[in-house]
Structure 1
Amino acid sequence: MSSTIELLEMALKSKRAATWCRELNISTAAFAQAKKRGRLSPLLAGNIAIDLGESPDHWMAVAALEAERESPLRDRLLASFNRHKP
Structure 2
Amino acid sequence: MESTMQLLNKALSVQRAAAWVEDMNLSKSAISMAQKRGRLSPVLAGNLAIKLGENPEHWIAVAALEAEPESELLTRLRKAANSWRKL
Normalised TM-score (structure 1): 0.95
Quote the residue 1:4 is aligned against: 4
Quote the residue 1:52 is aligned against: 52
Shift of 1:80: 1.4
In the alignment, the residues of structure 2 paired with residue 80 and residue 58 of structure 1 have an alpha-carbon distance, to the nearest angstrom, of 14
Q: Which residues of structure 2 form unaligned runs of 5+?
A: none
The letter for the 2-side match of 1:61 is: A
- Between the two proteins, the alignment pairs up a number of residues equal to 86
Shift of 1:11: 0.1
The letter for the 1-side match of 2:82 is: N
5 Å-filtered alignment, 1:27-42, equals: 27-42=27-42
> Aligned residues: percent identity?
57
The letter for the 1-side match of 2:67 is: A
Q: Which residues of structure 1 form unaligned runs of 5+?
A: none
In the alignment, the residues of structure 2 paired with residue 7 and residue 78 of structure 1 have an alpha-carbon distance, to the nearest angstrom, of 18
The runs of 4+ residues in structure 1 deviating greater than 6 Å are: none
In the alignment, the residues of structure 2 paired with residue 53 and residue 30 of structure 1 have an alpha-carbon distance, to the nearest angstrom, of 21
Quote the residue 1:20 is aligned against: 20
